[in-house]
Amino acid sequence: MHNLTAFIRFHALERPDALAVVYEGQRISYAELMDRTLAAAGWLRERGVGPDDIIALLMKNSAGFLELMLAASHIGAVLLPINYRLAMTEVEYIHHHARVKLLLADEELIDAAAGLPNVLTINSAAQRDIRTLATGVVGPNAVHRTGRDLYRLMYTSGTTDHPKGVIHRYDNFYWKTMDQAVALQQSAQDTLLVVGPMYHVGGIDLPGIGVLWTGGTLVIHREFDPETALAAIDEEKVTGVWFAPVMTNMILNHPARGDYNVSSLRWCIAGGERTPETRIRAFGDLFNKARYIDAYGLTESFGGDTLMEAGMEIEKIGSTGRALMHVELEIRDEDGRTLPPNTDGEISLRGPKITEGYWRDPDRTAAAFHAEDWFRTGDIGHLDADGFLYLTDRKKDMIISGGENIASSEVERVIYQ
CATH number at residue 203: 3.40.50.12780
Co-location of 134 and 202 in the same domain: no
pTM exceeding 0.75: yes
3-state secondary structure (DSSP) of residue 316? coil
Task: Report phi then psi at 222, rounded to 5.
Answer: -60, -40
What pLDDT is attached to residue 417?
A: 37
Sheet bearing 389-393, strands edge to edge: 328-332, 345-350, 375-383, 389-393
Q: Residues 111-141: pLDDT tens digits?
A: 999 999 999 999 999 999 999 999 999 999 9
In a domain, 226, yes or no: yes
Position 13: which residue type? L
- Please indicate, yes or no, if residue 152 is contained in any of the structural domains: no
94 phi, psi to nearest 5 deg: -60, -45
pLDDT value of residue 365: 98
Do 324 and 246 belong together in one domain? yes
Rounded Cα distance between 91 and 73, Å, is 22
Confidence of residue 411 (pLDDT cuts 50, 70, 90): very low
Q: Is residue 340 part of a domain?
A: no
Residues in Cβ contact with 335 at an 8 Å cutoff, skipping those fewer than 6 apart: none
What percent of the chain stands above pLDDT 70? 94
pLDDT tens-digit readout, 3-19: 999 999 999 999 999 99
**Looking at the structure, do residues 80 and 181 belong to the same domain, yes or no?**
no
**184 and 99 in a common domain:** no
The mean per-residue pLDDT over the stretch 345-355 comes to 99
d(CA 70, CA 6): 10
357 belongs to a structural domain: no
pLDDT tops 90 at residue 403: no
Q: How many angstroms separate the Cα of 357 from the Cα of each of 74, 94, 122, 201?
A: 24, 16, 31, 17
Are 195 and 273 contained in the same domain? yes
If asked whether residues 231 and 115 sit together in one domain, one would say no
| Whether residue 150 has pLDDT greater than 90 | yes
- 194 and 133 housed in the same domain: no
- Whether 157 is covered by a domain: the verdict is no
Residue 225 pLDDT greater than 80, yes or no:
yes
Q: Is residue 160 scored above 70 in pLDDT?
A: no
Identity of residue 301 = S
What would the pLDDT profile of 237-263 be if each residue is shown by its tens digit?
Answer: 999 999 999 999 999 999 999 999 999
- Confidence at residue 161, expressed as pLDDT on a 0 to 100 scale: 78
- Last residue of some domain: 145, 167, 188? 145
The pLDDT value recorded for residue 400 is 53
The CATH number covering residue 30 comes to 3.40.50.980
Q: Do 310 and 398 belong to one domain?
A: yes
Residue 275 within a domain: yes
**Same structural domain, 192 and 58:** no
Q: Are residues 228 and 303 in the same domain?
A: yes
> Which residues, listed in sequence order, are joined to residue 79 by a DSSP beta bridge?
55, 152
Distance CA 55, CA 68 (A): 9
The answer to whether residue 229 is domain-embedded is yes
258 in the same domain as 187:
yes
Range of the domain at 254: 177-332+373-416
Do 123 and 254 sit in the same domain of this protein? no
What region, left, alpha or beta, does residue 71 occupy, with left being phi > 0 and alpha being psi -120 to 50 degrees?
A: alpha
Number of structural domains in the chain: 2
